[in-house]
Amino acid sequence: MSVLKIAVILGSTRPGRNGAVVADWVLTQAAGRAAATYELVDLADYPLPHLDEPVSAKAGSGLYSKDHTKAWATKIAGYDGFVFVSPEYNHSTSGVLKNAIDFLYDEWTNKAAGFVSYGGVGGARAIEHLRGVMSELQVAHVQQQLSFSLFSDFENFADFKPADMHTGAAQLLFDQLEGWAGALRLVREGTLAPAA
């Protein structure tokens, strides 16, 4: 099997966002993994408006009518799995990340996802909401997650200094993600039938 492609999706476009240093840390931890390459996908580089497709993404990618949707779909379609890096805003994920997810359907389906969050309580509630969204999209989300506290993993709520325990947890997340992403690639290729 060829090397898997995993997108590390930076789910905040807010000025001064903490997510950029968190996503960079994730990429550093993933560097040199044998089974997969990890690549940053920054939502700031894909300035999507509020969802403006007249037809639901579930109806099929062939019905996308907007150039920004087609460009986003082309980008996401090339990946086998995702690491979502999300802040927690008001007990949920960011609006910009949820909007970007909602633009597509087929491009997410039968792939795998892991979650990295940050916030006052580690962003745990953002991850809980994302898990429900991923289930609806038929994305296998792995058990291991990384939650960074603004109180203990950042100095002055800005300088990212993660606790040592996160390094091993990140490797476990990558192990789980790569296992599921590889299996689901076989499903997408038709060499392994999904359960009925």
Question: What does the pLDDT look like over 178-188, one tens digit per residue?
Answer: 999 999 999 99
Given a cut of 80, whether residue 1 has pLDDT beyond it is: no
Given a cut of 70, whether residue 195 has pLDDT beyond it is: no
CATH number of 4-189: 3.40.50.360
And the tokens for 165? 């325990």
Given a cut of 90, whether residue 193 has pLDDT beyond it is: no
Question: What does the pLDDT look like over 47-67, one tens digit per residue?
Answer: 999 999 999 999 988 899 999
Phi-psi region of 41 (alpha: psi -120 to 50; beta: other; left: phi over 0): beta
34 confidence band (pLDDT: 50, 70, 90): very high
Q: What is the predicted pLDDT for the residue at 157?
A: 87
Question: What does the pLDDT look like over 87-132, one tens digit per residue?
Answer: 999 999 999 999 999 999 999 999 999 999 999 889 999 999 999 9
Average pLDDT along the chain = 95
Given a cut of 70, whether residue 194 has pLDDT beyond it is: no
Q: What mean pLDDT is predicted for residues 5-28?
A: 96
69 confidence band (pLDDT: 50, 70, 90): very high
Indicate the domain borders of the chain: 4-189
